[in-house]
């Protein structure tokens, strides 16, 4: 089919997807269909958002368009049809497809650190795109690469072009990925979860950048995400997917203001908002099961009243005074350079209360948590746990406190031993701290904890790789609970989870606090989540505490300019 002329372009879509069906190989003879007859269009000069949870088929659909599905393990049905500017993508040769994908269709992948080659400079990787698709060489490609880095907002692009990915922050790495994607001025840009786990300010910058580039280059964007609040700021049209099928699609205004499908309603309601604090966050099953929808709506409207901040009468379990942590790097032959990751941070944590800690990457949030756990050695200050300084005590003395203060790490994939079954993961800390009379009793306790965190007891015999990210985070919580801690540090424990799984984990943490009187230090860059769960909020910037106030007061009347900047970056939903 010949390319469409200008008059046809105004009527026909840029990309036409019809009855897309993708199956993946399970064994030599068996395939399972994961994308089940998806049909949608992407018009010229338009942003279309593809929304859904992990496993919904969003990324698989985009990889099918790019021709990046593994040929040996995935197949597209013969009835499927992918048409780009009138050209049938599925009938192209590999060489033709490769030439188009990178020049006319480009993609920003979800994880920039794994998408960028760590052994090449970012400049080399951008120049490679220009050499392959634009025929540029030498100084011409380098000059264009510097211009691209400047266009996507990289500071000192003439210097940064020779940097390696590991020398850049997560936000800068994502900007490099965008620079590579727009290098050839594509007609369609596919952005696969480009802001997941990024700070709220960096997230806003990336979204604004993509929109500005779309307008400037007159391209279309397929924006893949699970955050409907973010969709409202960038999308013209929205497609909602679940379990490989489209549940609903339409204009952004129609989807966000008048959703028709129960799943779309659930995605909108699962995420905490700044306006209300319900007793429990709704989850997907509440809306998919029609019988529960009315009851859930009632609960969502009922705010849970909680004493905000400290009145002075609370039982203080942890009193942190002037906590500091510095890292040192070698400078020259004999010198060393000090980097103050945390500087003179002080706060009090009351029993049964939650302190939210917010700030951008590099602000020192995680370092505070790791230093309190003595996984980093403090360079100054005290942390009084019921009057005793856990920072200054010996390792032997601290052994008695290890079971009383625990941490849920940010990455549930890396924090569980892949060679241990879930049972071994849960039994190990109980054996070390002599909890339970014997292994039979410990196994009973482990089974009870699995049920407590919403997992079947059969999970006891399985391995971490057999579980989703949300389930692994529940296992990590169960492991902490084996020791019955009094203080639990949650380090970005819900940051990379789907909104519905996030709601389940937040509900679980709230239930555990209500039942056991646990105290939380909740570290996060998601201010909506912190508003939902925290009694007090501490804002950190460049290793220092810039503001500490009760939750309502800080969100309604922030005092520090940096706090105001963070709050202004929160996605507000529909913007146009």
Q: How confident is the chain (576 residues) per 10-residue block, as mean pLDDT?
A: 46 91 89 94 95 87 92 92 94 89 87 82 94 89 94 89 85 86 92 79 84 92 87 92 94 92 87 79 74 44 54 85 89 78 93 92 87 93 93 89 88 84 94 90 92 87 83 87 91 78 85 89 88 92 92 90 88 62
pLDDT of residue 574: 59
Q: Is 68 helix (H, G, I), strand (E, B) or coil?
A: coil
- Judging by beta carbons within 10 Å of its beta carbon (0-12, 13-18, 19+), is residue 349 exposed, middle or buried? buried
> Using alpha carbons only, what angle is made at residue 208 by residues 188 and 356, rounded to the nearest 5 degrees?
125
For residues 502 and 532, give the distance between their C-alpha atoms in angstroms, rounded to a whole number.
12
Structure tokens at 496: 């990379």
* pTM given for the model: 0.80
Positive/negative CA dihedral, 416, 418, 421, 427: negative
316-404+496-569 placed in CATH 3.40.50.2000: no
Q: DSSP E strands: which ranges in 405-543?
A: 405-408, 487-491, 519-523, 536-541
What backbone torsions phi and psi does residue 254 show, to the nearest 5 degrees?
Answer: -65, -45
For residues 275 and 507, give the distance between their C-alpha atoms in angstroms, rounded to a whole number.
18
pLDDT of residue 28: 82
Could you tell me which residues come within 8 angstroms of residue 295 by beta carbon, excluding any fewer than 6 positions away? 286
Question: Which part of the chain is CATH 3.40.50.300?
Answer: 316-404+496-569
pLDDT of residue 306: 54
For residues 364 and 345, give the distance between their C-alpha atoms in angstroms, rounded to a whole number.
10
What backbone torsions phi and psi does residue 381 show, to the nearest 5 degrees?
Answer: 95, 180
């Amino acid at each position: 089919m010949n390319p469409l002329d200008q008059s046809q372009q105004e009527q026909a879509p840029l990309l036409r997807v019809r009855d897309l069906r993708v199956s993946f190989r399970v064994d030599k003879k068996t395939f399972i269909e994961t994308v089940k007859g998806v049909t949608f269009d992407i018009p010229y000069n338009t942003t279309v958002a593809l929304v859904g949870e992990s496993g919904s088929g969003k990324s698989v659909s985009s990889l099918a368009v790019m021709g990046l599905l593994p040929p040996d393990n995935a197949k597209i049905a013969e009835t499927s049809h992918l048409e780009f500017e009138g050209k049938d993508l599925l009938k192209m040769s590999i060489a033709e497809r490769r030439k188009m994908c990178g020049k006319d269709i480009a993609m920003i992948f979800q994880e920039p650190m794994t998408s960028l080659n760590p052994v090449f400079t970012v400049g080399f990787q951008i120049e490679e795109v220009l050499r392959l698709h634009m025929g540029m060489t030498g100084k011409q490609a380098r000059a264009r690469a510097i211009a691209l880095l400047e266009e996507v907002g990289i500071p000192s692009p003439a210097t940064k072009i020779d940097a390696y990915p590991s020398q850049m922050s997560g936000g800068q790495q994502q900007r490099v990925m965008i620079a590579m994607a727009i290098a050839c001025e594509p007609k369609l840009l596919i952005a696969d979860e480009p802001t997941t786990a990024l700070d709220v300010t960096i997230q806003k910058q990336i979204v604004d950048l993509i929109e500005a580039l779309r307008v400037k280059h007159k391209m279309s964007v397929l924006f893949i995400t699970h955050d409907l609040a973010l969709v409202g700021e960038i999308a013209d049209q929205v497609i909602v997917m679940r379990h490989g099928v489209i549940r609903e699609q339409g204009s952004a205004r129609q989807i966000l203001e008048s959703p028709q499908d129960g799943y779309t309603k659930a995605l909108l309601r699962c995420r905490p908002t700044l306006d209300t604090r319900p007793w429990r966050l709704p989850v997907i099953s509440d809306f998919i099961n029609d019988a529960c929808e009315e009851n859930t709506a009632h609960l969502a409207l009922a705010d849970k009243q909680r004493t905000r901040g400290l009145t002075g009468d609370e039982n203080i379990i942890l009193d942190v005074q002037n906590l500091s942590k510095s890292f040192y790097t070698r400078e020259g032959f004999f010198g060393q350079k000090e980097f103050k990751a945390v500087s003179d941070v002080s706060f009090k944590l009351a029993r049964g209360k939650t302190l939210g800690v917010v700030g951008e990457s590099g602000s020192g949030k995680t370092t505070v948590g790791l230093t309190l756990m003595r996984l980093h050695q403090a360079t100054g200050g005290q942390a009084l746990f019921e009057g005793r300084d856990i920072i200054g005590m010996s390792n032997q003395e601290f052994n008695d406190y290890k079971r009383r203060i625990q941490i849920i790490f940010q990455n549930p994939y890396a924090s569980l031993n892949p060679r241990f079954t879930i049972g071994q993961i849960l039994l190990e800390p109980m054996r070390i701290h002599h909890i339970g009379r014997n292994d039979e009793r410990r196994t009973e306790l482990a089974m009870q904890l699995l049920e407590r965190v919403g997992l079947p007891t059969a999970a006891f015999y399985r391995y971490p790789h057999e579980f989703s990210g949300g389930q692994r985070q529940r296992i990590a919580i169960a492991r902490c609970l084996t020791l019955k801690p009094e203080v639990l540090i949650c380090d970005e424990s819900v940051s990379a989870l789907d909104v519905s799984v996030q709601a389940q984990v937040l509900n679980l943490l709230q239930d555990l606090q209500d039942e056991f009187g646990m105290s939380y230090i909740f570290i996060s860059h998601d201010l909506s989540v912190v508003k939902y769960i925290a009694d007090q909020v501490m804002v950190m910037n460049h290793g220092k505490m810039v503001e500490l106030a009760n939750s309502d007061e800080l969100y309604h009347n922030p005092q520090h300019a940096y706090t105001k900047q963070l709050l202004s970056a929160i996605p507000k939903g529909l913007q146009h």
